[in-house]
Amino acid sequence: MPDCIFCKIVKGEIPSFKVYEDADTLAFLDINPIHPGHTLVIPKEHAENIFEISSENWAKVQETVRKVAGAVEKSLGADGVNMLMNNREHAGQIVDHAHVHLIPRFKGDGLNKWPHKEYKKGEATAIAEKITAAL
Ligand code: 5GP
Ligand code: ZN
């Protein structure tokens, strides 16, 4: 994809702080980290999001995610790691090249958790059935 920032990073046309690379995946520091060490893992082959990436490339990304998550936690002395993927604009995706965020977390780091709601009676069953029916 000629205009894709992350494709340009893969090709070396835009500089990045690489932390890991293999034939199919790349991990590099997010330019505006939530915490220092916030890392992005991407497939080298362009795919917009989770809905478009091939099963093979997704499996490879996940292997790299697991490998790099451990290194991020250990090297930074973090107390945990969030892995997050935004898919599509209204889920917060800004760069349209599939990527998984690895965010080191620290005890008492003040990052708020997402709100949690409660289901009304019967609602959970209906929603679970709806999702299952779409598979
Ligand atoms: P999204 O909101 O699409 O899930 O996240 C995109 C991420 O890419 C953001 O956290 C942003 O800081 C990061 N980002 C955007 N442009 C660049 C860039 O040119 N280089 C690097 N290393 N990160 C970028
Ligand atoms: Zn791309």
Structural domain harbouring 110 = 5-134
Write out the two tokens for 23: 């034939």
Check pLDDT > 90 for residue 113: no
Confidence of residue 1 (pLDDT cuts 50, 70, 90): confident
112 band by pLDDT with thresholds 50, 70 and 90: confident
Is 101 annotated in the active site? no
Q: How far is the CA of 32 from the centre of ligand 2 (A)?
A: 19
- How large is the average pLDDT for residues 72-95? 98
**Is pLDDT at 96 greater than 90 in this prediction?**
yes
Q: Which atom of ligand 1 approaches the CA of 96 most closely?
A: 3
Q: Is 37 left (phi over 0), alpha (psi -120 to 50) or beta?
A: left
**What average pLDDT does the structure give for the chain?**
97
pLDDT at 42 over 90: yes
| Count of domains observed in the chain | 1
Ligand 1 pocket test target in 87, 95, 100 with most atoms within 8 Å of CB = 95
The atom of ligand 1 lying closest to the CA of 99 is 4
How far apart are the CA of 7 and the centre of ligand 2, in A? 4
Which residue among the candidates 38, 46, 99, 101 is catalytic per the annotation? 99
Which tokens sit at 65? 């995610």
- Indicate whether 21 pLDDT > 90: yes
Using DSSP, state whether 98 is helix, strand or coil: coil
Mean pLDDT for 7-25 is 98
Q: Which atom of ligand 1 is nearest to the CA of 14?
A: 19
- The pLDDT of residue 127 is 97
Question: Up-side HSE of residue 115: CA atoms within 13 Å toward CB?
Answer: 2
CA 24 to chain centroid, in Å, comes to: 16
Cα-based distances in Å from 7 to 13, 75, 134: 9, 27, 32
Tell me the C-alpha distance between 78 and 92, whole Å.
25
For residues 102 and 83, is the Cβ–Cβ distance under 8 A?
yes
Q: How many Å apart are CA 39 and CA 72, to the nearest integer?
A: 8
pLDDT in the model for residue 94: 98
CATH of the domain at 84: 3.30.428.10
- DSSP label at residue 23: S
**Of 50, 61, 47, which is closest to residue 87 (Cα–Cα)?**
50
For residue 34, name the pLDDT band (cuts at 50, 70, 90). Answer: very high
